[in-house]
Amino acid sequence: MGKSKRNQPKPDSNRAQRLAERRAAQQEAAAVVTRPFAGLAAECDLVALREFVPSATATLTLAPGVAAERPVTLATVLPGAVAALVRAGEQPTGFVGVQVQFQSENPATDLAASVLWTQAAEPGESLDAASESAVAAVPALAEVIDPKAELDLTVHQNFQWWVPEGVQPDPQVAATIEQADQAIMPSDRLALGAESVGAAWWVDAGEKAHIRWVRPEDEDALMLALARVHATGGLHLGEGSRFAGSFRTHGLLVPVFDLDRERHPSEWVAPATEFGARLAEALASDAPLTSDERRSRDGLRSRQVTLR
């Protein structure tokens, strides 16, 4: 038997409007891609570049099926926070940004659309944001860039790369670059070796430095492993460090450590490698959590925040 008509809201009533808004919100939430860069070897670095790395670039390796007319450089942010531009020159080069002013619910699709746009755009053109029709028709990012390729990153401590070498910027552009340079925080990616997992980034934030370690594991499994390590007193990077908490972004969990800022980033490589080994051992355990580990898990979860 169908529902009684008495339970159905009147078309123009406040209840009907609330139900419609709730359904729209549910549909919008369902459309959001939780882990947009999943399946890509560069997933962890892509998340880092989008969320907190100030200035870095890398030449993208395009997928074999893409008709590549020109090379494409991935960048944290481009002038004006545009999605893409094509730099003129003897060999025009496409640039695509991951920190953009306008974006859809799926940053991977936005990036794929930007990469394809650079192959047909004229030198000197820029793209504020990919159109809805372009985003809807674009293939998956794994079909546009090589999903097995890591990012060969160049980390910059300024934004001088915004202007081609040998070109004198006009006063307005020069002032914009100077302003951006003054706001930048020194950053570096820790070279942890082939055995390392994820992407560990050091940043000098002023009063203290941090390491933000983007990890590719399932969030729940990683949280349990962190709890096991914490319960044994191993949740640190040695002297001059402390675990500050973690944040969730793009479907990944990012542990954060506060550091002594007087030490060079390279000095944290060995301690981070040792911590990575402790964490790998904890991840491999399938034993039930002890009471101490459960308390550690609950405490760690209370210090976790979600960015997006």
Cα-to-chain-centroid distance, residue 68:
25
Average pLDDT over residues 82-92: 92
Evaluate whether 268 touches 211 at the Cβ level (below 8 Å): yes
CB neighbourhood size of 56 (10 A): 23
Predicted confidence at residue 308, as pLDDT, reads 59
Q: What is the rounded average pLDDT for all residues in the chain?
A: 89
CB neighbourhood size of 202 (10 A): 26
Q: Strands 84-87, 126-127: parallel, antiparallel or unpaired by DSSP?
A: antiparallel
Evaluate whether 217 touches 35 at the Cβ level (below 8 Å): no
Average pLDDT over residues 262-291: 95
Q: What are phi and psi of 85, to 5 degrees?
A: -155, 165
pLDDT at 176 over 60: yes
pLDDT at 32 over 90: no
Predicted confidence at residue 233, as pLDDT, reads 96
Residue 129 pLDDT level (bands cut at 50, 70, 90)? confident
Going by C-alpha positions, the residue among 215, 297, 306, 201 that lies closest to residue 257 is 201
Average pLDDT over residues 236-258: 95
pLDDT at 154 over 70: yes
CB neighbourhood size of 249 (10 A): 17
Indicate the Cα dihedral angle 212, 213, 214, 216, nearest 10°.
Answer: -160
Ranked by mean pLDDT, which of 100-104, 151-155, 173-177 comes out on top? 151-155
Average pLDDT over residues 32-50: 94
pLDDT at 7 over 60: no
pLDDT at 5 over 80: no
Predicted confidence at residue 25, as pLDDT, reads 40
Predicted confidence at residue 27, as pLDDT, reads 47
pLDDT at 35 over 70: yes
Predicted confidence at residue 11, as pLDDT, reads 65
Residue 294 pLDDT level (bands cut at 50, 70, 90)? very high
Going by C-alpha positions, the residue among 139, 153, 128 that lies closest to residue 61 is 153
Average pLDDT over residues 130-145: 85
**SS3 for the chain, per residue?**
CCCCHHHCCCCCCHHHHHHHHHHHHHHHHHHCCCCCCCCCCCHHHHHHHHHCCCCEEEECCECCCCCCCCCEEEECCCHHHCCEEEECCCCCEEEEECCCCCCCCCHHHHHHHHHHHHHHCCCCCEECCCCHHHHHHCCCHHHCECCCCCCCEEECCCCHHHCCCCCCCCHHHHHHHHHHHHHCCCEEECCCCCCCCCEEEEEECCCCEEEEEEECCCHHHHHHHHHHHHHCCCCCCCCCEEEEEEEEECCEEEEEEEECCCCCHHHHHHHHHHHHHHHHHHHHCCCCCCHHHHHHHHHHHHCEEECC
Predicted confidence at residue 26, as pLDDT, reads 41
pLDDT at 8 over 70: no
For 305, what's the count of Cα atoms within 13 Å in the CB-facing half-sphere?
Answer: 4
Measured CA to CA, the distance from residue 231 to residue 300 in angstroms comes to 11
pLDDT at 40 over 70: yes
pLDDT at 158 over 80: yes
Residue 23 pLDDT level (bands cut at 50, 70, 90)? low
Average pLDDT over residues 124-139: 84
pLDDT at 287 over 90: yes
CB neighbourhood size of 19 (10 A): 13
Going by C-alpha positions, the residue among 138, 88, 136 that lies closest to residue 114 is 138
Measured CA to CA, the distance from residue 141 to residue 112 in angstroms comes to 5
Q: Which of 135-139, 173-177, 296-300 is predicted least confidently?
A: 135-139
pLDDT at 3 over 50: no
Predicted confidence at residue 4, as pLDDT, reads 47
- Two tokens, residue 137: 């028709």
